[in-house]
């Protein structure tokens, strides 16, 4: 059995769905169901005995210990986190509580479970982290590799960096068989519409402005979420404990390019009633404080050591993504409820 945390969020739910589609091994899914957690993502698993959902927090050590004792998983895959940079700027406390303290409590419970099980060499603690821990790049800097120094710039990335250090220390000090992945920006189905790509698709269809921070020339390296899930399966299967793996899409794009690509796809797939391009809705707004200019992942280690490469280009992945949002308007309506509107007012006032 796998013990997944945060499996009702964007990447976690894609991981659980893909896992159960290709394996008979059951999944125990612990999620606190914050605003970002949504059981609707897992609706297709209703009645599937391979999926056991538990509502609770990774910071609840007693609960995690009990789940480990009852279900005896062979691995923990930790997605649970507060994940949105802009929210961490408005209020960092939840990021410290979940990303740092929560990961600490999860590690403590994992250590007790693993020690009690005669330190089984085959046990794995896979921690999902981010490229944001490496800080920001200039246009001609080399991409982030696994040895790049940590220089987190936002409360979010600082909290993720702290959790990565704890995970590393539990391997170095106690020998816990940990694996860490640092991946670039994901996109695809079930992406909560506070993040750039789903926000822009949703706003475009509602006739709202498409907000680009600053000059829109910031660069991200886009990774289709299903490719990320296949990379995680590979790392879980063959990764070397104590080692870290960067996961990227080899798809650097400026934010302006990304938003224009979405507009062009919508022009093709769902043209505006007035025949004008969605590009006309693009609006430049106040920049994010401390906004990192460029992220880029050097994903050669995972390719050379574990034989993984992404299968989607940005063009193929964004077409699938826009198509998914057009086909799943009800999912979008369900997640953009009252509290979501409050967030938009706070962030884009
Ligand atoms: P998300 O915000 O969509 O989902 C997070 C999930 O964690 C939600 O289901 C939420 O309910 C749950 N959660 C929050 N606090 C919890 C707690 N204390 N206990 C249990 N569950 C809790 O995030 P995501 O985009 O799916 O990201 C998943 C992981 O991947 C995070 O660790 C994030 O830092 C990392 N990551 C994300 C991206 C990206 O582009 N989205 C890129 C790199 C790394
Ligand atoms: O790089 C990995 C990270 O990617 C993950 O660790 C984070 O969890 C994930 O949220 C994401 O962080 P970003 O800050 O890069 O993603 P976001 O979608 O918020 O923003 C992408 C870029 O678009 C960034 O440069 C900010 C910009 N942006 C974002 C929003 C929401 C805008 O220009 N306008 C917007 O309205």
3-state secondary structure of 28: strand
Lowest mean pLDDT among 23-32, 121-130, 265-274, 335-344: 335-344
Question: Residues 229-248: pLDDT tens digits?
Answer: 999 999 999 999 999 999 99
Give the separation between CA 56 and CA 288, rounded to whole angstroms.
32
Whether 249 lines ligand 2, by a CB cut-off of 6 Å, is no
Question: Residues 301-321: pLDDT tens digits?
Answer: 999 999 999 999 999 999 999
Question: Residues 183-223: pLDDT tens digits?
Answer: 999 999 999 999 999 999 999 999 999 999 999 999 999 99
Which is the closest atom of ligand 2 to the Cα of 295?
1
Which is the closest atom of ligand 1 to the Cα of 59?
18
Contact in structure between 258 and 121 (CB atoms under 8 Å): no
2-187+223-249+291-311: CATH homologous superfamily? Answer: NAD(P)-binding Rossmann-like Domain (3.40.50.720)
pTM above 0.85, yes or no: yes
The pLDDT value recorded for residue 252 is: 98
Whether 83 lines ligand 2, by a CB cut-off of 6 Å, is yes
Largest CA distance in the chain: 68
- Mean pLDDT, rounded, of the chain: 97
The pLDDT value recorded for residue 198 is: 98
Six-digit token pair at 252?
Answer: 């650097």
Contact in structure between 30 and 59 (CB atoms under 8 Å): no
Count of residues in the chain = 349
CA of 177 to the centre of ligand 1 (A): 22
Q: Indicate the domain borders of the chain.
A: 2-187+223-249+291-311
Give the H or E element holding residue 55.
strand 51-55
The pLDDT value recorded for residue 337 is: 83
Contact in structure between 31 and 80 (CB atoms under 8 Å): yes
Going by pLDDT thresholds of 50, 70 and 90, the confidence category of residue 261 is very high
Task: Give the residue numbers annotated as catalytic, written as ranges.
Answer: 131-132, 156
Which is the closest atom of ligand 2 to the Cα of 291?
25
Give the separation between CA 319 and CA 122, rounded to whole angstroms.
39
Span 30-37, average pLDDT? 97
Whether 67 lines ligand 2, by a CB cut-off of 6 Å, is no
The pLDDT value recorded for residue 101 is: 98
Whether 196 lines ligand 2, by a CB cut-off of 6 Å, is yes
Give the separation between CA 23 and CA 161, rounded to whole angstroms.
32
The pLDDT value recorded for residue 113 is: 98
118's CB contacts (< 8 A; 6+ apart) are: none
Span 113-140, average pLDDT? 96
- Residue among 156, 213, 294, 299 whose CB has most ligand 2 atoms within 8 A, to mutate: 213
CA of 79 to the centre of ligand 1 (A): 5
């Amino acid at each position: 059995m796998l013990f997944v945390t945060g499996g009702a969020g964007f990447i976690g739910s894609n991981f659980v769905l893909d896992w159960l589609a290709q394996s008979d091994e059951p999944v125990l899914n612990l999620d606190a169901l914050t605003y970002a957690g949504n059981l609707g993502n897992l609706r297709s698993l209703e009645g599937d005995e391979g999926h056991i959902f538990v509502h609770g927090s990774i910071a609840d050590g007693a609960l995690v210990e009990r789940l480990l004792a009852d279900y005896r998983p062979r691995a923990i895959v930790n997605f649970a986190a507060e994940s949105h940079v802009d929210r961490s700027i408005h209020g960092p406390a939840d990021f410290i509580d979940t990303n740092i303290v929560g990961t600490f409590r999860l590690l403590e419970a994992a250590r007790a479970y693993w020690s009690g099980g005669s330190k089984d060499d085959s046990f794995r603690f896979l921690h999902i982290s981010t490229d944001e821990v490496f800080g920001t790049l200039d246009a001609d800097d080399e991409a982030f590799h696994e040895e790049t120094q940590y220089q987190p710039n936002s409360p979010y990335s600082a909290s993720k960096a702290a959790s990565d250090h704890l995970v590393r220390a539990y391997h170095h000090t106690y020998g816990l068989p940990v694996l860490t992945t640092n991946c670039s920006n994901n996109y695809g189905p079930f992406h909560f519409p506070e993040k750039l790509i789903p926000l822009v698709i949703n706003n475009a269809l509602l006739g709202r402005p498409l907000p680009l921070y600053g000059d829109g020339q910031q660069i991200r390296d886009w990774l289709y979420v299903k490719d990320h899930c296949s990379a995680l399966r590979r790392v879980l299967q063959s990764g070397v404990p104590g080692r870290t793996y960067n996961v990227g899409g080899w798809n650097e794009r400026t934010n302006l390019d990304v938003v224009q690509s979405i507009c062009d796809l919508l022009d093709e797939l769902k043209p505006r009633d007035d025949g004008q391009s969605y590009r006309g809705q693009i609006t430049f707004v106040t920049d994010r404080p401390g906004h990192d200019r460029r992220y880029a992942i050097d994903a050669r280690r995972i390719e050379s050591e574990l034989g993984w490469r992404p299968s989607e280009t940005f063009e193929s992945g964004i077409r699938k993504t826009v198509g998914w949002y057009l086909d799943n308007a009800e999912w979008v309506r369900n997640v953009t409820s009252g509290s979501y509107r409050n967030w938009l007012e706070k962030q884009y006032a």
